[in-house]
Amino acid sequence: MTKKRGVLKAVNGFIEITVNVNGADTALRVKAGEYLLDALRRHGFKGAKKGCDTGDCGSCTILLDGKPALSCLLFAAQAHGRKVTTIEGLGNPRRPHPIQQAFVEAGAVQCGYCIPGMILSAKALLDENPDPGEAEVRRALDGNLCRCTGYVKQVEAVLLAAKKLKQA
Instruction: Report pLDDT digits (tens) over 13-35.
Output: 899 999 999 999 999 999 989 99
**Range(s) of the chain covered by CATH 3.10.20.30:** 14-89
Residue whose C-alpha is closest to residue 8's, from 73, 84, 82:
82
Helices then strands, each counted (H, E), the chain: 5, 5
Q: Is the pLDDT confidence value at 1 over 50?
A: no
Q: Is the pLDDT confidence value at 106 over 60?
A: yes
Query: Residue length, the chain?
Result: 168
Q: What's the rounded Cα separation, in Å, for the pair 22 and 50?
A: 19
pLDDT score for 12: 84
Judge whether 126 and 161 are in contact, CB under 8 Å. yes
Q: What's the rounded Cα separation, in Å, for the pair 41 and 50?
A: 9
For helices 152-167 and 98-105, give the axis angle rounded to 10 degrees: 140
Confidence of residue 4 (pLDDT cuts 50, 70, 90): low
**Beta pairing, strands 83-85 & 67-70:** unpaired
Q: What's the rounded Cα separation, in Å, for the pair 116 and 112?
A: 8
Superfamily name and number for 98-167: [2Fe-2S]-binding domain (1.10.150.120)
Mean pLDDT of 142-155: 94
Superfamily name and number for 14-89: Beta-grasp domain (3.10.20.30)
Q: What's the rounded Cα separation, in Å, for the pair 51 and 29?
A: 24
- Which amino acid is it at 7? V
Q: Is the pTM of this model over 0.85?
A: yes
Instruction: State the DSSP code for 89.
Output: G
Residue whose C-alpha is closest to residue 35's, from 72, 7, 6:
72
Give the model confidence (pLDDT) of 41-100 as tens digits. Answer: 999 999 999 999 999 999 999 999 999 999 999 999 999 999 999 999 999 999 999 999
Task: Name which residue leads in pLDDT, 127 or 150.
Answer: 127
